[in-house]
């Protein structure tokens, strides 16, 4: 039996292939995560650069006794409150 085809070496080859595939997937995951963070940061920058609006105007579309179900539409928006 050839040296590289012994069960011990076959197992090591299999593990090396699994590790290589895993590391490639981790690399792709990091790139996807980078794009998600860039999109989120762009949204934050856009919303934070908007002029402040009265909190009552922001919440006008929602019932006052319930938190908005779509919080993302008003998240990170500058607001003013007087009282």
Q: pLDDT value at position 34?
A: 98
Is the pTM above the cut of 0.95? no
Q: pLDDT value at position 61?
A: 67
Q: pLDDT value at position 55?
A: 85
What string of DSSP letters covers 11-52? HHHHHHHHHHHHHHHHHHHHHHHHHHHHHHHHHHHHHHTSPP
d(CA 83, CA 56): 12
Mean pLDDT by 10 residues, the chain (83 residues): 79 96 98 97 92 84 61 81 86
């Amino acid at each position: 039996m050839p040296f590289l085809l012994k069960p011990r070496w076959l197992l090591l080859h299999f593990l090396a292939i699994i590790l290589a595939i895993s590391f490639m997937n981790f690399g792709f995951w990091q790139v996807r995560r980078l794009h998600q963070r860039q999109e989120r940061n762009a949204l934050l920058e856009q919303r934070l650069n908007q002029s402040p609006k009265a909190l009552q105007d922001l919440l006008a579309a929602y019932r006052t006794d319930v938190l908005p179900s779509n919080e993302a539409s008003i998240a990170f928006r500058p607001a003013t409150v007087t009282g």
